[in-house]
Amino acid sequence: MLKNAFKEASWTFFISRLVILVITVLGVSLLPMSGSNASCLANPSGCIRSWMHFDVFSYIYIAIHGYGTERATVFFPLWPLLLHSLGFLAGGSDVRFYLIGMVLSNIFFYLALVVLYLLTANLFEQSVAQKALLYLAFAPYALFFFIGYTESLFLLLCLTTFLCLQRGSQYGGAIHWWLAGLCGLLASLTRSQGFLLTVPYVIVFAQRYILADKFSMTRWREKILALLPIVLIPAGVVLYMGYLWYTKGNPMLFSVAEAKDWNRAFQPPWVGLYAAVRGLFIPGGLQLQNALNLASFLVTLLILVSGWKRLPLYYTIFALILIIFPLCYPLGTADALMALPRYMLIVFPIIMISASWKQQRVVTLYLALTLALFIFNCILFTHHYWVA
Q: What angle do CA 21, 11, 25 make, to 5 degrees?
A: 5
The average pLDDT across 135-151 equals 97
* CA within 13 Å, CB half, 196: 23
Q: Could you tell me the maximum CA-CA distance found in the chain, to the nearest angstrom? A: 73
In this prediction, residue 94 has a pLDDT band, given cuts at 50, 70 and 90, of confident
Supply the pLDDT for residue 36.
Answer: 60
Q: Rounded CA gap, 100 and 86, in Å? A: 7
Supply the pLDDT for residue 322.
Answer: 97
Specify whether the CB–CB gap between 208 and 257 falls below 8 A. no
Q: Where are the alpha helices (DSSP H) in 191-252?
A: 198-206, 220-227, 232-248
Supply the pLDDT for residue 112.
Answer: 98
In this prediction the pTM is 0.96
How do the domains of the chain map onto residue ranges? Answer: 1-149+358-388, 152-250, 267-356
Q: How many residues does the chain have?
A: 388
Q: Rounded CA gap, 28 and 39, in Å? A: 7
- Lowest mean per-residue pLDDT among 216-225, 253-262, 284-293, 371-380: 216-225
